[in-house]
Amino acid sequence: MKKIFVTGGSGFVGQHLILMLIEQGYEVNALARSAKAVQIVEQLGATAIKGDLNDANALASGVKGCSSVFHLAASVDFFASEKQLQKLHVEATALLLSAAKDANVKKFIYLSAASVIMNGKPITNADETFISDNIIDGYSRTKLQAEKLVLKENTPNFQTVSIRPPLIWGKGDPNTLAGIIDAVEKGTMQLIGGGKHRFVTCHVINVCHALILAEQSEKSGGKAYFITDGETRVFRDFIKKYVGTQGITVPDKSVSLAMAKTVASIMEFVWKTFRLKGHPPLYKGLVNALGLEFITNDTKARREIGYKTFVTIEQGLEMMKD
């Protein structure tokens, strides 16, 4: 039986991944920094390793005897600065890589993000050769820095892989779904440019399958892979159906892209200047992530690691209703 160490196991993707790993016969250690996280991962069937990502002793304990590591833990925050996220995304990844190598772990799978190539412009059919010349948010910058650290460590005896999903969705989504429902309820929800742009998504179950396939593949070492649901959708249409599964109607309110960028810049300036709590209703990272065409190509993952669409968008939407 393979023993696996998972970070971020109590999170949205992590919970699904732990269940799938256990179903496939893996033994799972999961890092848990709080009593609630301990309870969640243990209920899923994993062994909780108490500590956080900057606790070298906890990481060493977690990776001991493991053949592979799935590093999922991150703060999906497009408003936080690069400085705020540096310790969590970059320094912690370096510490975990060191612990994994010291423990003779054979495979290190990193959950990156497709946003590491965003550049403030529409992107269509981008593959892994595409490099951004203008990453505007701290989340994507630090995720890319961490990804580079991971891939740089690849050797025949310590294979490292990065999986790059776009917007991850599904039942229990604490980010996009919860955020849009909150905006609708507050009356602040507006579709940028009418939401007419096309984009790609990746259902949480598809993400987990890709992570496991990357761990099992002998061809994946030292590489990054985009993954998607295998189809593009109009943003407005998808979001209305997604939120509609929860009985919420997205209003037909719209703001132009130019106006959204202007308002986002002003709000971001005010929030940061006066150190206001929380996030402004609109900020540059949000406009970039949800207001522009964004289509990546996952042909490489399908060809090299056997990735496929395990859950279609329509199937995923039906699952949301249960």
pLDDT at 1: 77
Q: 3-167+202-228+296-311 has which fold?
A: Rossmann fold (3.40.50)
The two tokens of residue 120 are 């403030």
- Contact call for residues 163 and 207 (beta carbons, < 8 A): yes
322: pLDDT strictly greater than 80: no
Residue 141 three-state SS: helix
> What average pLDDT does the segment 164-169 reach?
98
- Give per-residue pLDDT as tens, 273-285: 999 999 999 999 9
- As annotated, the active-site residues are 139
pLDDT at 258: 96
Nearest to 127 by CA among 29, 36, 60, 225: 225
The two tokens of residue 279 are 């996030």
- Considering only CA atoms, give the Rg of the chain: 19
| Alpha helices per DSSP H over 45-136 | 56-63, 82-85, 92-102
- Contact call for residues 109 and 70 (beta carbons, < 8 A): yes
Residue spans per domain, the chain:
3-167+202-228+296-311
- Give per-residue pLDDT as tens, 211-269: 999 999 998 999 999 999 999 999 999 999 999 999 999 999 999 999 999 999 999 99
321: pLDDT strictly greater than 90: no
> What average pLDDT does the segment 66-71 reach?
98
How high is the mean pLDDT of the chain? Answer: 97
Q: What are phi and psi of 308, to 5 degrees?
A: -150, 175
* Dihedral over alpha carbons 226, 290, 242, 198 (to 10 degrees): -70
- Give per-residue pLDDT as tens, 34-49: 999 999 999 999 999 9
